[in-house]
Structure 1
Amino acid sequence: MIRHVIREVRADLIASPVQTGFQDATRKVETVGMCVIRVNTDQGLTGIGVTYHEVGGEAIKEMIERYYGPKLIGRDPFETEEIWEELFHYARGVGRKGLSFCALSAVDIALWDLKGKIMDLPLYRLLGGNKKKVPVYASGGWTSYDDDALVAEALEMVRRGYKMIKLKVGVEGGRNIRRDTQRCRKVREAIGPDIGFMVDANNAFHSGDAVRLANEIREYDILFFEEPVFADDIPGLRRFRQGTDIPLGTGEHEYTRYGARDLILGEAVDYLQMDVTRCGGITEMLKVIALSQAWNLAFAPHAMEHIHMHLVSAAANGAFLERLFLFEDITAMVFKDAPVPEEGILTIPDKPGLGLELNSEFLR
């Protein structure tokens, strides 16, 4: 095998304003974007890494180009553990979570993409998986929608072949539980009994109100209830879990194996939803998955399905992927021919590494 040495690191920032004013229970979404990193070797291979942003994308790009990127020059892409530890400790005083960790995640993903390309193996195979087809659910249904628009999007998801969907709860900032219950009833009546139905509160409630809502909508066969309370409120998550038999999904706002450990030991999760483009990249996510398996929990990562498809394929407890309708347009612009789900199934390309090709013309 020819040895590769990293010669160049580049980052591109893509941001698109959201024109229609999407709103969840706790915030208005004004921008969607990605920070795309390219790590080039002396042998002519390029590894792709990606994270996403709604605010702070410029800081992510700066962190990669000014601080992390120079420390990769001259290194072997296979040094993922050593590089991860070095970059983690380099920024630990200012960045054990948040934007700097998004930057670290993108760097690590690019190195794993390079490893797959050097070995001429799709990443899911390199990670020990062999499932080419992975279930995926559709995600949207903003609280800013009126009831007709909410039901219409749910029906559109079903029309496009999805067997599972996820919609928002927490209308009026979580202050109108009766309306949330009515909206969930209308959706279930529209989609019928055979479609998996999940809800996401985006940190809207106190635990008591979240339990009340969960128990009012349980008759609509809710697959899981996501982030019912503030993501850092582990005692509140535990109280929610003790107060209802609807499974609890959380973790998209957690970072590192230590965040996963705290959720698990706090008895505050059923579906672990940590995000590889935030939590520390593939190097760290493999440790997170191992923890979830040790406690026999489902691994159901948040968004970014084209990166997570390899991890869900390789993880014995991988449940399914999430496809955010909000990100469909920008994903189609950034990547050439990224796979699109058919009948609720995403088929992983048999190309080396991530199996993704950047649209260089768009990036320019």
Structure 2
Amino acid sequence: MTIARIEPFILHVPVTGSSISDSTHTLSHWGVVGCRIHTRDGRVGTGFTGTHADLSGDRLIARCIGTSVAELLVGEDERDVTRLWQKVARHPPLQWIGRAGIAHLALGAVDVALWDLKAKAADLPLWRLLGGATSERLTAYNTDIGWLSLSDEELLAGARRAVEEEGFRGIKVKVGSADIGRDIDRLAALRRALGDRVTIATDANGRWDLATCLRFTRRAAGLDLLWFEEPLWYDDVEGHVRLAAEGGIPVALGEQLYTAEAFSDFIRRGAMHYVQPDVARLAGITEYIRVAEAAHAARLPVVAHAGDMGQVHAHLSFWHPATSSFEYIPWIAACFAEPVTVRDGDLVRPELPGAGTSILPEAFDRHAKTLD
């Protein structure tokens, strides 16, 4: 029961269409940056983080995994996941260069791979290893039809297709335009087209200031929005406190919070209504569990952010009792032995042993990038 070697990798997988945009980013590919951990008895666990497919940054993460993290873990017993997480997370040189940055993302990828190994050794899907599923069905919402770069016609057509043909009962729409009126008009058109039974969430990706957010919430008051995600700059606790108290639309965030301590501060201050942890931003499954438990203790719903495109989060979402729904973005699904699947608007529970991270050989053939 010993780690023999750690093999970093980088995949760049195309997004839907030629590119997508939100209020702050334009992407053509999603980065899957991580590692395969090989044990001396021939078993393999896979873990990864999610990036905007910037090759220079992705190589920094991969090099950190292959050098600094590997030096700490090769020769260790891979079953000791909590102890190994602590060994890497509290290693002084790594703290110094990236307590919530590159080293942190590297640790997250490695931690997911260790949990994948642990679940495979038990011959169990991760959700069962952690204690069993709390439900057999989990409602999914579609984010991939709501990009800000879509025309009004494309947005409406995609939303209708998701609801009428694919069975989704919830969608998420990007906002954050320079002209708030454009966002309000798009949301109003969606509400008219979809009716009152479909939930509509919004996401500004941290684009606006507090004054603009309050203007938006006032103008959107009659649209019955499920939540307002990442409305402000990510670290602005006080601004989120005020918006949560005054805006009238529930606040959701977590995509850009990198530590359990950061989540605790927002939760303690009443700055969020929906908690959105992400194994690709946090230091893996180990820290995700801490955040989800803190949210549950505060009686707040958990909705994982899809930075890993749902592979690990499918397991964690079925397992954790605070989870209220699941974000669906299918960009990288075809890369996996057991891809995230939504049927009639519900997430299908994964059943293969592991954390859902086993990548098909052909995905490496198609999408792998060199590490140097």
Code of the residue aligned with 2:116 in structure 1: it is D
2:274 and 2:301 in contact (8 A); partners too: yes
Deviations 1:274-328 (A, max 9, x none): 101220111111111111112111111100312111211221111111112xxx2
CA distance in 2, matches of 1:346, 1:255: 26
Deviation (angstroms), 1:331: 2.8
**C-alpha spacing 1:132/1:71, structure 2 compared with 1 (3 Å):** farther
Determine which of 91, 97, 100 is the counterpart of 2:100: 97
TM-score (norm 1): 0.93
Residue type at the aligned position of 1:136:
A
Matching of residues 304-323 of structure 1 within 5 Å: 304-323=309-328
Please say which of residues 28-37 and 48-57 is displaced more in the overlay.
Answer: 28-37
Q: Which of 6, 9, 34 pairs up with 1:9?
A: 6
Q: Which residue of 2 aligns with 1:166?
A: 172
Identity of aligned residues (%): 33
Q: How far 1:100 moved relative to its partner?
A: 2.2
Unaligned runs of 5+ in 1: none
The one-letter amino acid of 2:317's match is V
Residue of structure 2 in register with 1:223 after alignment: 226
Paired with 1:267 and 1:252, the residues of 2 have a C-alpha distance of 17
Q: CA RMSD in A?
A: 1.6
Residue of structure 2 equivalent to 1:301: 304
CA contact (8 A) 2:187 2:223 kept: yes
What is the distance in 2 between the residues matched to 1:352 and 1:32? 25
Task: Quote the offset at 1:186 in angstroms.
Answer: 0.7
Shift of 1:340: 1.4
Bigger shift: residues 161-170 or 209-218: 209-218
Contact kept in structure 2, 1:134 and 1:309, CA below 8 Å: no
Work out whether residues 252 and 273 of structure 2, in 8 Å CA contact, stay in contact via their aligned partners in 1. Answer: yes
Q: Secondary structure at the match of 2:35?
A: strand
1:183 to 159, 182, 186: 186
| Residue of structure 1 aligned with 2:197, choices 187, 194, 198 | 194
Residues 338, 350 of structure 2: 8 Å contact kept: no
* Superimposed CA distance per residue, residues 150-202 of structure 1 (whole angstroms, 9 cap, x where no aligned partner): 2122122212221111010112xxx3111111110011111221111100011
1:133 paired to 2:134: no
Unpaired segments of 5 or more residues in structure 2? Answer: 366-372
Q: Distance in 2 between matches of 1:339 and 1:177?
A: 34
Alignment partners' CA distance in 2, 1:339 and 1:260: 26
- Say if 2:13 and 2:31, in contact at 8 Å, map to a contact too: yes
The structural deviation recorded for 1:145 is: 1.8
Aligned 8 A contact 1:33 1:330 in 2: no
C-alpha displacement of 1:132: 4.2
| Alignment equivalent of 2:111, drawn from 100, 103, 108 | 108
| 1:150 aligned partner, one-letter code | L
Task: Using the TM superposition, name which of 129-138 and 117-126 deviates more.
Answer: 129-138
Number of residue pairs matched by the alignment: 354
